[in-house]
Amino acid sequence: MGSDLKEEAIKRAKVLMVGAGGIGCELLKTLALSGFQDVHIIDMDTIEVSNLNRQFLFRQSHVGQSKAKVARDAVLKFMPQINITPYHANVKDPGFNVDFFKQFNVVLNGLDNLDARRHVNRLCLAAEVPLIESGTTGFLGQQVTVHIKGRTECYECQPKPTPKTYPVCTITSTPSKFVHCIVWAKDLLFAKLFGDKKQENDLFVSAGDGSDSEKPTDIFERGSDEDHEQYGRKIYNHVFGYSIEVALANEETWKSRRRPNPIFLKDVLPERLILQNGNLEKNFLTEDLPLSAMSSVGLSNPQDVWSLADNSRIFLEALRLFFGRREKEIGNLTFDKDDQLAVEFVTSAANIRASSFGISLHSLFDAKGIAGNIVHAVATTNAIIAGLIVIEAIKVLQADFQNCRMTYCLEHPARKMLLMPVEPFEANKSCYVCSETPLLLEVNTRTSTLRDFVDRIVKNKLGMSFPLIMQGATLIFEVGDDLEEDVAANYALNLDKVLVELPTPVSSGTMLTVEDLQQELSCHINIKHREEFDEDKEPDKMVLLGWTAREKESQVVSNGNSTSAAVPAAAEATMKSEEAEVNAEISGTKRKLSEILEATENQEASQILSRPDADNFKNSHELEDDDDDLVVLDNYPETSKKQRLH
């Protein structure tokens, strides 16, 4: 590894890894082979079959076991002399507090979600421990960023757009994209049929089949005299037929939209095929294989796009298998991308609905990616990123901050580069996390409740787990296990009061202080009353302002010798597709590559933007991988100025 000082720094280092998945496996291996002697790993996940194609420390026999513990055991087989401490736990558990983080020399992240990343970022700031963030998406868009309190920007110095949401009316009545059909099938229909009956659900449930009954009936209630086949036909005809007819009755809705076509089972499948459906089950389903409607009806290729008839057969068969073979689970099921039967049901339901609304059908492979927010990871990319993380960690341990780099892995034919090192940026002075800048919240104080504020702003947007809310010296709300019963009850009553009716009214001009004691984070929020909101663009009916990206200049450094150029930092590239719109959230800072391209041959640069897959680089969304890989993307063609650290 080089000099004696470097080796000594490595041997003395106490390292915390958060995440033991795709990047984590490669990272733990690289740390061990690089000479690190004391590594702690936190991961709450267990090993799944889908992890085995790239998380090389795991085997089939490990499925269902703790990732952190199995990773430790696997590495100790070839490096038995090092100390590895695994924690099968959530990094947000109270035990992993600021004092816990202070014992480490550096923290290395390999997480898969914005919430956990923000939490670790705040703990590292409070503990004053350097954090190295990382993520991957397929071959491109990968990054390694170094966050050091007082020297560089923190992970949250650039705003992260909130997860993509859709108005209920779009999902239930006027879908225009396949992703809308997936959301309907997964979050409404699947939940209504197989999930908790007590949960609110916007799916239309009243009978619409011409019944003379004056009292509306819940069509999803299965009658005592209905067998699986009869119940399946009833559900099919209701959700794809009668409910569409009811929607068509509102002529105003369809003046500027394509009218959907009601679909009834008798028009899609002849009676003989309905009766034959599932007859192959005995030949294709065994106790050793997961239940599969595809196998039961004789379909095998998940990348085929099924016809409307095949989707209908899969829908009926999946429904029959759920109620016939998994009846004990009904009422407690939630969608799981690793549940084969659930994916088949959601795919078929989404495709039938898509057919009704004139939307292109998708294969099970594609539908699973959308429903499960999956970005298919590449093992070699994870290995590259893990190596870069260790390189930056060694620089940090040696206090060689001048040579720290944020490195992006991307395709750049003009410079013939794969890796794009960029000098770290200074902290954003408007960052509410590390600069304590007040925020502004526009909200209707006469209609929004304290619960709305806590759930949508404090927990969702600010990422606080154990919030405490104060107005001046008055405590309005607090979360904690150590609260006295009467105090907790009083706070619970406040939750359902509108803001202006709280014991200490919150109105326009009020300043609230919000703290998270576990994260040791505090921020101020100025309240501005606003009467109306755009339901499509502002579904939360609250707008948080004052957190903006600062303009900076940067310098790009080549893979070899330094090359000075006044260009912006590399973009955290992302993929544009309908899939990317599901629960999309940016998990990295927004930066542009356009000046990098302009600094090189314009002709070669334009080839990047004119190639067939150029749309993949034109939108900012995030997909979560099925374990720990970060998707971070922005478009190339915008400019911004960044201020370089010296």
CA–CA–CA angle 153, 410, 414 (5° rounding): 115
What is the three-class DSSP state of 137? Answer: strand
Tell me how far apart the alpha carbons of residues 605 and 597 are, in angstroms, rounded to a whole number. 6
Pairing of strands 14-18, 106-109: parallel
Q: What is the DSSP string of 296-356?
A: HHT---TTS---HHHHHHHHHHHHHHHHHHSGGGTTS----TT-HHHHHHHHHHHHHHHHH
H/E run at residue 422: strand 417-422
Residue 169 annotated among the catalytic residues of the structure: yes
Neighbours of 367 (CB within 10 A): 29
**What is the spatial distance between Cα 308 and Cα 183, in angstroms, rounded to a whole number?**
19
Distance between CA atoms of residues 46 and 21, nearest Å: 10
Cα(619)–Cα(607) distance, integer angstroms: 18
Greatest Cα-to-Cα distance within the chain, rounded to the nearest angstrom: 88
At 526 the three-state DSSP class reads strand
CA-nearest of 222, 240, 244 to 320 is 222
**How, if at all, do strands 521-529 and 439-443 pair?**
parallel
Burial of 117 (0-12, 13-18, 19+ CB in 10 A): buried
Contact 138, 407 (CB under 8 A): no
In terms of phi and psi (left: phi > 0; alpha: psi -120 to 50; beta: otherwise), the region of 240 is alpha
Q: Residue holding tokens 């009834």? A: 264
Catalytic residue among 154, 169, 404, 409: 169
Pairing relation of β-strands 417-422 and 406-412?
antiparallel
Handedness of CA 455, 460, 462, 465 (dihedral sign): positive
Measure Cα distances from 231 to 301, 316, 343, 512, 581 in Å: 28, 9, 20, 53, 33
Enumerate residues 6+ apart whose C-beta is below 8 A from 109. Answer: 18, 19, 117, 120, 131, 132, 133, 134
Sheet of strand 14-18, all strands in order from the earlier edge strand to the far edge:
83-87, 38-42, 14-18, 106-109, 131-137, 140-147, 406-412, 417-422
> What pairs with residue 131 in β-bridges?
107, 147
Are the beta carbons of 97 and 123 closer than 8 angstroms? yes
CA pair distance 88, 194, nearest whole angstrom: 30
Q: Which residues of 517-555 are buried (b: 16+ CB within 10 A; e: fewer)?
A: bbbebebbbbbebbeebeeeeeebbbbbeebebbebbbb
Active site residues per annotation: 169
